[in-house]
Every structure is written in structure tokens, then in C-alpha cells.
Amino acid sequence: MATRVHMEALSPTMEEGQIVKWLKGEGEEVSQGDILAEIETDKATMELVARGEGVLRRVFVAEGAAAPVGDVIAVIAAEGEDIAALEKGLGGGGGPAGPEADVPPPGASASPGGPAPARPPRSEAPARIRASPVARRLARDAGLDLADLRGSGPGGRVVKRDVEAAAAAAAAWPTVPGTEFEDVPLSPMRATVARRLAESLGPVPHFFLTVDVDMTRALAARARINELLAARGTKASINDLVVKAVAVALTHHPECNAQWRGDSIRRFDRCHIGVAVAVPDGLVAPVVRDAQAKGLGEIGAEIRELAGRAREKRLQPHEYTGSTFSVSNLGMLGIEAFTAVINPPEAGILAVGAVEERPVAVGGEVVVRPRMRVTMSCDHRVIDGAQGARFLATLKAFLEEPAAILA
């Protein structure tokens, strides 16, 4: 019996997935558990496994294309099994058809009160482009896509003169009308970032608190710790120290280690810190779990390992979900101070600026000290101004005297 291959929910927040690569092609044998394709979700690139066996008879969604969670993207069936009715019912890629229509795909939820609304069918793969062999060779050498060219040959066939004209236009790109910009399609991650920001900054009532921290002792403590860590081939950064200090400070202020749940506020005993990492097409926040109980070297090694896999889109869902508070650091990029957007349902995020030598008044004299500004974004439904201020006062004290958390 034919098995429909659905676009599965491969991450908790995934609404659609993009086919990065089909690892099985049409006509290839498939066993249950085989990896069929690599799917780019809103956070990472995941593997889609086969839940049936036979032959991959039909692929409905090409590499580079996206499909909503629940859509049928391929069919596995026995060699010679008639799937014509199934193909016709799917219309080339999309909704369910036939007797299996009411069976929800793995990871997708059924719509209450009836079947899901019908989606317009996804168009079939484009027909082979008509072009002469010479035109194909010239287009390949010039890096041109034949699909972008209008053929002037018989029946719209792309011929040599069409490619030559397009190549000449490309060479004169700065002066060609209509080529002053490029529309870049949204990746699944960028689309999710856009949606999440709108869900946060609009509905969540933000307010912001800033303190200026003397980092003299923090820098000295980090230097001593790195001397000890050198034997293990690792080191700790200022950001690692901030993550540790935030986690320990949260144990003193559980009202800030909390989430808005709509009809309740959930406070956490354990401190799982999301650390914002920039990736080529967005932002992801791997989670350092129980950061309050880990040493600086352990935190640093974990952040570097998670950040590396985040940039490769190889994080597993449990590695970027479940944070109770977040830290975003732009200090390494020279940013003095900024405000960060809360990641719902968390109630707070700390924005960390650069450590800079600045003149300050100490004991009636002007001296130069390394200073760092940190700004806490608070969800006012969960954290009041005084509560946020007390948390920042504790965090400032820990960073200015790190022996209190590192001893």
C-alpha cells in the first residue's frame, strides 16, 4: 500500500519546511527509517526519515521549494503499484486525498471541528526548457539560468543570440534598467524571526533598565581563570562570565526567572540561559542548561560547541528550546549599548555592550576604568520595575566582585 511522505514538524515552532536536498531520488528503493531528505526548518537543518518501504515513486516538492507542515511531499509505493489516483488527488503536491485523508501526519495536529481547509495545489515541476545545445553551453559558461531567458527561436526556443544578448546585458549591469535591487526570498528561519519579533514587541509590554558595570575585577578574574584553563586547551570569555553571573543572580531573584503563561506566571528553580548566536540568515539561541551550577570553562566550551553547530544548522530541537532567560551580546562588534527584544514566553533578556575604557569619578577623582553597559528588557506583566532593578543590582555586584560566584 502506498505511503504518503508528509512534511513533518521537525521542530516545536516549525510551520513549514524547505527541501534542502533529496537523499533518495525517484525510482530508488526505500526502507523504513532511511533518510529521505534534508529539511531546513525555522532553526536548523533536520533529517526526514521514511515511515514506509518500497520505491520512492513520486516527489512533489523540488529541492529549494517549501511546503507547510502536513503537506504530502512524496509517495512511497511498491514497484508497479498503481498510484495514478493518488497523484491526481494530490494535484502535484499538497493536501490529503483518498482513504488516508483523515490520518494526521507525524508531528502535525488535526484541525478541531473538521478537516483542514484545502490549499491550492502546488504547481508541477516546470517542463524542460527548450534551448539549442549551443545556447545551453553558452548559458552554462556565462552563469545564466535558461529559465530567466525569453527565447526568440521557433516555438520560443532559446537560441545563441538570446544568450549572447543576456550576457551582454549582465556585463552592463550597473546601467541596465530594472536591476537596481534583488528580492531575496525569506528562508524558514528569517520568516520565523520576523513573526516572533512581531509577536513579542507588539503584544509584550517591554520596559528597559540599564546599569553601568565596573569590569576591572572581572577582567582580572578572567585572566587568572584562563591561565588555569590553558592546560586544558580552552578559555573563557567575558560573555561566559556574564552568562554565569546572570544565572546565579536569577537564583536570588526567581521572579525574573519566569515566563508569562497567559493565566499564570511560571517561576523556575533552574536557570537555563539562551545565548543569542548570529547565523547567516537569522538568529538562534542555543540553551546552556543549569548554567548556575556550571564552571566558567564548562560554560565556555558548551557555548562554543553549540554556536558552531547553530551556524551549521545542526542543532537538535532540545538544544534551542526551554530557556528561562536569554542573553544577547553585541559587545564584540563594538556596540556600546542596545535593547533586545524578549523571546516569549520568557519575561526577560539581557543586552550586553562592549567593555570600554571610560573616565569615571572614583573617590572624588577622575580615573579611567573598563566599563560595560547592560540593559535588561522586562515583560511588565511578569516583572515590575523594582524587581528588575534588584536583579540588576545583584548582577552588577557579581560582575564587579566575581569571586562571589566563582569561589
Any idea which residues carry the catalytic annotation?
380
Q: How many CB atoms lie within 10 A of CB 335?
A: 14
- For 178-215, give the DSSP string: T-S---PPPPHHHHHHHHHHHHHHTTS-EEEEEEEEE-
- Amino acid letter, 119: R
Q: Where are the beta strands (DSSP E) in 78-225?
A: 206-214
How far out from the chain centre does Cα 270 lie?
Answer: 24
How far out from the chain centre does Cα 43 lie?
Answer: 3
SS3 of 60, please?
coil
Query: Exposure pattern of 278-302 as b/e (b: 16+ CB <10 Å)?
Result: ebeebbbbbbbbebbebebbbbbbb
Q: Would residue 12 be called left, alpha or beta, if left means φ above 0 and alpha means ψ between -120 and 50 degrees?
A: alpha
- Residue partners of 202: CB distance under 8 A and separation at least 6: none
Complete edge-to-edge strand list for the sheet that includes strand 45-49: 45-49, 35-40, 16-22, 66-68
- Residue partners of 259: CB distance under 8 A and separation at least 6: 265, 266, 268, 324, 345, 346, 347, 382
Q: How far apart are CA 353 and CA 336, in angstroms?
A: 5
- C-alpha Rg value of the chain to the nearest Å: 27
Beta-bridge mates of residue 277: 284
Q: How far is CA 172 from CA 159, 168, 176, in A?
A: 21, 6, 6
Q: How far apart are CA 93 and CA 309, in angstroms?
A: 32
Q: Cell triple for residue 171?
A: 556585463
Q: Cell triple for residue 39?
A: 529539511
**Is-contact 29 52, C-beta < 8 A?**
no
